[in-house]
Amino acid sequence: MGVDAGTGSGVRCRGLSVARGTVAVLHEIDLEIAQGTWVSLVGPNGSGKTTLLHALAGLVPAAGEIELAGVRPGSSRRRAIARAVALMPQRPVVPEGTTVRELIALGRTPHIPRFGAETRHDRDVIDDIIARLDLEELASRQATALSGGELQRVVLARALTQQPQVLLLDEPTSALDIGHQQQVLDLVDSLRVEADLTVLAAMHDLTSAAHYGERLVLLEQGRIVADGKPSEVLTEERIDAVYGARVEILHRADGPAVLPLRSRGSGS
């Protein structure tokens, strides 16, 4: 069965399954994301969020049909995939001896012809993203000497200079303070609007996931167990059943907020 035409620059997968060794990690995932939409991917530790993002990016072998922005990770050329799709990994690999600017500039690689050099346009894209993430003061530093939160913003900058049509984010704010969390999520959202970018972001903070994603996809043990508007997916009963967590959902105008509750009898 082929993937239907017409995903535009969105994401579509059908029957996506991934096995690690003999263990099935993702089971027949069907997912369709319209171009320009932000979908937040949530689920407990080990539910398969990273594996799904890596399978969509073509980094792990997967069975099933996958198409992102018109490319198929299993059969398209690496360069074509890299022009269409950027992944911000949870655990970035930083080459020794690389400055922050050099690391960010790597995002332009798929746009620079082989044996070619950075053009004025490439430099403008890099400078714009560096400015929008307030990274100017870090630009000449060694990337290996950054704090966890600084590195996370630099790795996002690299993904953004790639100017992808689909952006896959793996817990993009896990190391960031609350101010930088807002800065990063607001920047991604404004780029989504400006460039009609499609965003799939694995996030543990359910409130942020609900406020930025117009849709939430909830994974549990490698299967999608809920997919819909944040207010539909995030119920107290479901969070208890899937995460084993007691929470209160606060219904706010800009989306549900998830308040963890201290268990009765804990503390003094």
Ligand X SMILES: Nc1ncnc2c1ncn2[C@@H]1O[C@H](COP(=O)(O)OP(=O)(O)OP(=O)(O)O)[C@@H](O)[C@H]1O
152 binds ligand X (CB under 6 A): no
61 binds ligand X (CB under 6 A): no
Taking the complex as a whole, the smallest distance from the CB of residue 43 to ligand X amounts, in Å, to: 5
Taking the complex as a whole, the smallest distance from the CB of residue 115 to ligand X amounts, in Å, to: 35
Taking the complex as a whole, the smallest distance from the CB of residue 25 to ligand X amounts, in Å, to: 4
215 binds ligand X (CB under 6 A): no
Taking the complex as a whole, the smallest distance from the CB of residue 6 to ligand X amounts, in Å, to: 29
**Cα–Cα dist 162/72, whole Å:** 18
Contact 209, 203 (CB under 8 A): yes
CB of 64 or CB of 110, closer to ligand X: 64
List 40, 47, 165, 208, residue binding ligand X (CB under 6 A): 47
Cβ burial, residue 36 (10 Å; 0-12/13-18/19+):
middle
**Other CB atoms within 10 Å distance of the CB of residue 31:** 18
List 22, 45, 266, 268, residue binding ligand X (CB under 6 A): 45
207 binds ligand X (CB under 6 A): no
Dihedral, 126, 132, 135, 140 alpha carbons, nearest 10: 20
Angle at 155 between CA 149 and CA 157, to 5 degrees: 105
51 binds ligand X (CB under 6 A): yes
| Backbone phi and psi for residue 182, each to the nearest 5 degrees, phi listed first | -65, -40
Interface positions with ligand X (CB under 6 A) = 20-21, 25, 43, 45-51
